[in-house]
């Protein structure tokens, strides 16, 4: 758990006593208290806490509107929000569309359960904000954690980096909407092919833009790369105009603004294997993959290369 999460506790009636405050401290949480939501607003907007715990039932319409304002805002929507409710309030039914909170806990509070729910809120928020909004695939934080965990465990895995060739000129020629279709298609291919290829530990992530990452058991790397490339090359034909498909190229401007002929989009897949525990750190994997991808990008069409060098090579 990250050190010293700041927790803003709102409500004067049944806020934690000294004993509970010690429990928060022991769990690495720093408590900030406010008797009302109105008084807490300056703290929320000027010095945002890491989590908000509301002890009141928020029967007050003004307080409910403040909750909606905080969760509906751009800068504070990411703050996990837990509300403590009486059992009577829960039993009568909660109209959750009016309560834009992330979790609730019943009163009197079981602090062991509360700390578990707080940890879950932090994890959930990290997942939500890490996922790519276009493809819904996990982003860089999840990619790094997954690969590093595999390296730390000494697993023999293959880690692939997928890059769409000629994507920028394609975007310029066909527009962002068609470009997004290509991005989503690659995401769909990755997830479906990994799921079909192996039931063991697999992973797919979206690094950003037209770059993706995946992880499979090393003995499946060749099969996965060939399937991804054959599927992409077949499907991408549906995302270019007939004339461009017939010519096997399209015209767009390069980075200097000059018109150029560009080959149809293809894939470059750089794969590094952790055979013989070659890698210890995620950065080493990324560096090796970058070297391979640079070579692949100089080739025509879709290509993949699996780096199987040993530690001494």
Contact partners, residue 240, CB within 8 Å, separation at least 6: 174, 250, 264, 265
Predicted pLDDT of residue 271: 96
pLDDT at 14 over 70: no
pLDDT of residue 73: 66
Beta-carbon count within 10 A of 5 CB: 18
The pLDDT tens digits of the residues spanning 164-177 come to 999 999 999 999 99
Query: What percent of the chain shows pLDDT beyond 90?
Result: 50
Tell me whether strands 5-10 and 29-34 are parallel, antiparallel or unpaired. parallel
Write out the H or E segment, with its range, that includes residue 225: helix 221-235
Mean pLDDT for the chain?
Answer: 87
Where on the phi/psi map is residue 30: left (φ > 0), alpha (ψ -120 to 50), or beta?
Answer: beta
The CA distance from 80 to 101, in Å, is 8
Output the pTM of the full model.
0.70
152/13 Cα distance (integer angstroms): 48
> How remote is the C-alpha of 52 from its chain's centroid?
23
Q: Are 224 and 216 in contact (CB under 8 A)?
A: yes
22 exposure class (CB count in 10 Å sphere: 0-12, 13-18, 19+):
exposed
Q: Residue 200's pLDDT is what?
A: 67
């Amino acid at each position: 758990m990250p050190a010293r999460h700041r927790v803003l506790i709102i409500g004067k009636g049944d806020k934690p006593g000294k004993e509970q405050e010690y429990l928060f401290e022991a769990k690495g949480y720093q408590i900030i208290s406010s008797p009302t939501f109105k008084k807490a607003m300056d703290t929320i907007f000027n010095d945002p806490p890491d989590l908000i715990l509301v002890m009141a039932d928020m029967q007050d319409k003004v307080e409910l509107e403040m909750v909606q304002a905080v969760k509906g805002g751009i800068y504070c929507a990411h703050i996990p929000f837990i509300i403590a409710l009486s059992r009577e309030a829960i039993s009568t039914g909660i109209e959750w569309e009016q309560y834009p909170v992330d979790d609730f806990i019943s009163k009197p509070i079981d602090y062991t359960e509360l700390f578990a729910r707080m940890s879950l809120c932090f994890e959930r928020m990290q997942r939500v904000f890490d996922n790519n909004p276009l493809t819904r695939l996990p982003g860089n934080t999840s990619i790094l954690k997954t690969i590093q965990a595999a390296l730390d465990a000494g697993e023999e895995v293959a880690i692939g980096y997928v890059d769409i060739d000629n994507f920028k000129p394609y975007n310029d020629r066909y527009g962002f909407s068609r470009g997004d279709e290509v991005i989503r298609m690659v995401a769909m291919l990755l997830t479906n092919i990994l799921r079909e290829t192996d039931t063991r530990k697999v992973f797919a992530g979206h690094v950003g833009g037209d770059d993706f990452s995946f992880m499979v058991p090393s003995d499946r790397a060749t099969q996965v790369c060939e399937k991804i490339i054959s599927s992409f090359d077949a499907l991408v034909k549906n995302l270019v105009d007939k004339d461009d498909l017939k010519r096997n190229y399209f015209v767009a401007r390069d980075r200097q603004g000059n018109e150029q002929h560009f080959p149809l989009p293809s894939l470059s897949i750089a794969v590094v294997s952790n055979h013989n525990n070659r890698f210890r750190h995620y950065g080493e994997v990324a560096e090796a993959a970058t070297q391979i991808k640079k070579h692949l990008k100089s080739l025509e069409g879709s290509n993949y290369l699996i780096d199987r060098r040993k530690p001494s090579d």
